[in-house]
Amino acid sequence: MLLTASYYFYMCWRIEYAVLLAASTLITYFTGLKMGQIPHRNGRLKYLAISLVLNLSILFTFKYFNFINDSIRPLFNQFNIFYDVPNLKVLLPIGISFYTFQALSYTIDVYRGEKQPERHLGIYALYVSFFPQLVAGPIERSTRLLPQFYKKYDFDYNRVTDGLRLMAWGFFKKVVVADRLAVIVNPIYANPHEYMGVHLLIATFFFAYQIYCDFSGYLDIAIGA
């Protein structure tokens, strides 16, 4: 249920990018299994390298390629070198840094012998895609999060209502406080030259509370969930 919910949550933004999430999951899952069959670190190194290269290549392509491409084009132009590599016309996959590094942290734990390979693909896929921290972190170590998926939990009314109350408080901070402050802050920050110093001071003061309530609200929602 949690795995289905996590993928549904991710695909609400962009269905096709779930393929990248699944690819990162499968790469690290199978390289982890291979490393688990080898007793010594030296023998595991090639599978660690495969996992690192493939995952970081995906991350680089989607997150950093256009930035680096735009950065080196002026450099080539300075030396009159023809450089016409086009930018990729893709949206940045949401949460790609978080789930990539979370998957790689598992690979490194297995390589070091700190974690036995997870053989249940569904449980491991949930570790990579767990929705409360999929798009904004924090990055969880496999030794901390994976064992929690094996614990049995019975319905606890007090625990559920405590979680819902914490989520409601998080939504209040995000939707009521942060988003209302953004209505004041964003126009001023978008055109600072059109405003006087007092307006800039007020916007900066409000922005401190806006950014705090954004992140604090997200955390309360995640912890409550």
pLDDT > 90? residue 203? yes
Q: What is the pLDDT of residues 85-138, one digit of tens each?
A: 787 788 888 899 999 999 999 999 999 999 999 999 999 999 999 998 888 778
Dist. CA 166–CA 112, nearest whole Å: 37
169, 146: one domain: no
Q: What is the pLDDT of residue 96?
A: 92
pLDDT grade for 26, boundaries at 50, 70 and 90: very high
In whole numbers, what is the pLDDT of the chain averaged over residues?
92
The answer to whether residues 82 and 179 belong to one domain is: no
- Is the model's pLDDT at 164 over the cut of 90? yes
Q: Is the pTM of this model over 0.95?
A: no
Q: Is the pLDDT of residue 177 over 90?
A: yes
Check residue 8 and give its pLDDT.
96
* Cα–Cα nearest to 113, from 47, 44, 50, 53: 44
175 and 69 in a common domain: no
DSSP, collapsed to helix, strand or coil, labels residue 77 as: helix
Q: Which of 150, 169, 202 is the last residue of a domain?
A: 150
**Whole-number pLDDT of residue 87:** 78
Same domain (yes/no): 163, 94: no
- pLDDT band at residue 13 using 50, 70 and 90 as cut-offs: confident
108 with 173, same domain?
no
The range of the structural domain enclosing residue 184 comes to 157-224
Which of 150, 172, 193 is the C-terminal boundary of a domain?
A: 150
Residue 92 confidence (pLDDT): 83
DSSP code at position 86? P
Instruction: Give the single-character DSSP code of 150.
Output: G
- Does 13 share its domain with 118? yes
The pLDDT, as a whole number, for residue 202 is 94
Quick one: average pLDDT of 139-143?
90
pLDDT bucket at 54, cuts 50 / 70 / 90: very high
The domain tally of the chain equals: 2
The band of 180, judged by pLDDT with boundaries at 50, 70 and 90, is very high
pLDDT digits (tens, 9 = 90+) for 27-43: 999 999 999 999 888 99
Kindly tell me the sign of the dihedral angle through the C-alpha atoms of 83, 89, 94, 98. negative
- Indicate if 34 and 125 belong to the same structural domain: yes
What is the reported pLDDT for 222?
87
The lowest-confidence range among 45-54, 72-81, 153-162 is 72-81
What is the pLDDT at residue 91? Answer: 80
For residues 36-58, give the mean pLDDT.
Answer: 94
Amino acid code (one letter) for 92 = L
**Last residue within a domain, chosen from 105, 122, 150:** 150
Are residue 194 and residue 128 in the same domain, yes or no? Answer: no
Q: Is the pLDDT of residue 151 over 80?
A: yes
- Asked if residue 205 and residue 163 are part of one domain, the reply reads yes
118 and 62 share one domain: yes
User: Mapped to the 3 state alphabet, what secondary structure does 31-70 carry?
Assistant: HHHHHHCCCCHHHHHHHHHHHHHHHHHHHHHHHHHHHHHH
Q: What is the pLDDT of residue 90?
A: 80
Residues 161 and 56 in one domain: no
Q: Do 109 and 130 fall within a single domain?
A: yes
